[in-house]
Amino acid sequence: EAQVTQNPRYLITVTGKKLTVTCSQNMNHEYMSWYRQDPGLGLRQIYYSMNVEVTDKGDVPEGYKVSRKEKRNFPLILESPSPNQTSLYFCASSLRMVGPLHQPQHFGDGTRLSIL
């Protein structure tokens, strides 16, 4: 089954303790992206990757890191989490996002992070 898998689904942790949220897709998609969703603000893009070893900042990249060492995985890293990073996070992937053949995004089920 084609899917985007995020782990963990839920996490409660404390300020300053490094954490990684994994994202994996099995559709051989080139494009992957991370979003956060907060009440009243919709989805805001954190980072995206057009392909392996290519990553770019989205609208709200501060406090986050990403890597794209292989096509299927796009982990989101919080080196020193703070309470303002408490949010619902979504990973998404798309076959491609440029040119006339660009395709819609497929989203994971979300990761709810609480930073105390």
Nearer to other proteins among residue 15 and residue 66 (C-beta): 66
Report H helices in 1-116. none
Instruction: Considering only the stretches 12-20, 65-73, 74-82, 100-108, report the one whose residues sit in contact with other proteins under the rule CB under 8 A.
Output: 100-108
CB of 14 to other proteins, least distance (A): 23
Token pair belonging to 61: 């990249």
Binding mask 44-83 for other proteins (x = CB under 8 A): xx--x---------xx------------------------
45-66 as b/e, with b when 16 or more CB fall inside 10 Å? bbbbbbeeeebeebebbeebeb
